[in-house]
Structure 1
Amino acid sequence: MTYRSSVYESTDQTPSCVMLGRKIRLPCDLQFGRRPEEEVAGEDYISIRFVFYLVTKKYSRTKMLYKNLWQTLWNLRREMEFHHVKKLAVPKLACGLDQLNWRTVRNMLEVVFRGTGVQVLVCSY
């Protein structure tokens, strides 16, 4: 779910303040709580977490290639080692619209992260 939270220049208010008369509570605020008027930066929620965007092809409409995914996974490993990240949660990479074989992709993940101590969790929905 996404929320429009940018401030309008003309009103100096967020869309939720204009339409509802108050700031909206984000799902993470509702679950974990927040002081009513405390300003919280995004870094406060994810202070020790990293989000890596895996870019595997130049255009979304082009066909996914195993060699591009292979190179991307090695780049991911290098970045994770640099930042000392030891846990990785990913969906079934490249197996949706890109139609790559999940067994092959899983084997690639195992080879790339073998011996690094990284725990890989594959989230399937």
Structure 2
Amino acid sequence: MELIEIKKDLFTMPEDYFLAHCISADAKMGAGIAVLFRKKFKLSSLQERATKNELEVGKCYKVDRVFNLITKSKYWHKPTYETLTAAVRSMKESCVNESISKLAMPEIGCGLDKLQWGRVKEILKEEFKDIPIEITVCRL
């Protein structure tokens, strides 16, 4: 596993990168970078699943090339390091099963959700330590 931190617009990463971000199980995606993900990647299928209570905290749902990590139940809640870890673990399983070797993401859980990047980075390193993957963290 290689973790790279760069200054770059996440949405300008090459098409061979799968992108990741955190959302709530209600799939509102009405604030922060989630708004951009919703608009750029047409994530309405997630919103439909949310209305049927099909999205589970601690899981990751892939839509096209976007991993949507469910880290809290409602948009106004805050995630915990435990729910983030569970969602990252779910994403790792998908990466292994689908032979995905390139991920790009913002500092997940650290914007509006207020988690500390140092701890989140350690979670990523620990969860992905045993697989060949490049994780690029983009910040502007």
Of 100, 112, 123, the match for 1:108 = 123
Q: Which has the higher contact order (CA 8 A, sep 6+)?
A: 2
In the other structure, the counterpart of 2:112 is: 97
Q: Distance in 2 between matches of 1:107 and 1:65?
A: 14
| Deviation for aligned residue 1:78 | 0.2
Q: Distance in 1 between matches of 2:137 and 2:123?
A: 13
Deviations 1:97-116 (A, max 9, x none): 11111000000001111020
Q: TM-score under structure 2 normalisation?
A: 0.53
Unaligned runs of 5+ in 1: 1-48
| Deviation for aligned residue 1:50 | 2.3
Q: Distance in 1 between matches of 2:84 and 2:94?
A: 15
Q: TM-score under structure 1 normalisation?
A: 0.59
Q: Which runs of 4+ in 1 moved over 2 A?
A: none
The alignment's C-alpha RMSD in Å is 1.1
Unaligned runs of 5+ in 2: 1-63
Q: Secondary structure at the match of 2:135?
A: strand
The amino acid of 1:122's aligned partner reads V
Q: Secondary structure at the match of 1:95?
A: coil
Between structure 1 and structure 2, the one with the greater Rg is: 1
Q: Secondary structure at the match of 2:74?
A: coil
| Equivalent residue runs for 1:16-35 within 5 Å | none
Q: Distance in 1 between matches of 2:82 and 2:138?
A: 23
In the other structure, the counterpart of 2:70 is: 55
The amino acid of 2:131's aligned partner reads T
Of 75, 87, 90, the match for 2:102 = 87
